[in-house]
Chains A and B, each alone.
Chain A
């Protein structure tokens, strides 16, 4: 499972970096989007897998490690067999943040496209005067 995750992370990262290196602004936005996903997948891979039956590969949730006995005493399942919820909370936060950044980036692209009539990053920079000494 970890291996599959690692391959996924690598592929998503590769694609996103490829898109980030392009000149097309839309592709840039897509690359940024994928970059966030890759990072989230990476954290998810860190959090360990909940599917292994013998407890191997499980990462005990740090909050609950002492709650095992209590849970067992109340007839519940051992809490340390549950998947660690914290990385998921981290991912949720990261998703929200990348959501906001994405909205900003799309708006930026729309504004700059309207202002300069181009979606190419090279064109965008081209009409800058060679000496940046003009009045601000």
Chain B
């Protein structure tokens, strides 16, 4: 089911799309974006990759079952919420700080980022998992 055009195009598009997904996730704290959107971009990229290179090559490139991603993502998000509880704050309280970098730059950092990363993993895992499962039905 792979075509030459899709193959060539996916080589170009996939790295860019992954970068965009990462950008979306990182800027999500105070602007439109976040783990969910980033995760969807990521998932769509992976599916594009699969369509481009075919299932066999894809399985070799991404040996992880999507289920594992869901599990890890949920665990990461959950632990992010649990840490403030252990320190006496409500569940999911976010710690915000400005990290000073050399040359006078600073990065606005919130611990909610870990939660977002967890959400990203869950979204990638579920959407890729669902689409893989359904496409296996069709391909079989």
Point out residues on A near B: beta carbons under 8 Å: 92, 96, 99-100, 103, 106-107, 110
Residues of chain A within 8 A of B130, CB atoms compared = 103
A85 to B59 alpha-carbon distance, docked (Å) = 40
A96 to B127 alpha-carbon distance, docked (Å) = 11
B98, CB-defined interface residue at 8 Å? no
Q: Range of interface residues on chain B?
A: under 10
Contact B36 A92 (CB under 8 A): yes
Contact A107 B36 (CB under 8 A): no
Chain A interface main SS type: helix
Known: A107-B133, A110-B134. 9 other contacts (CB 8 A): A92-B36, A96-B36, A99-B127, A100-B126, A103-B126, A103-B130, A106-B134, A107-B134, A110-B137
Point out residues on B near A: beta carbons under 8 Å: 36, 126-127, 130, 133-134, 137
A110 to B43 alpha-carbon distance, docked (Å) = 23
A100 to B137 alpha-carbon distance, docked (Å) = 18
Closest Cβ of chain A to B66, distance in Å, is 12
Residues of chain A within 8 A of B126, CB atoms compared = 100, 103
A92 to B134 alpha-carbon distance, docked (Å) = 24
A130 to B109 alpha-carbon distance, docked (Å) = 64
Give 11 CB contacts A-B under 8 Å. A92-B36, A96-B36, A99-B127, A100-B126, A103-B126, A103-B130, A106-B134, A107-B133, A107-B134, A110-B134, A110-B137
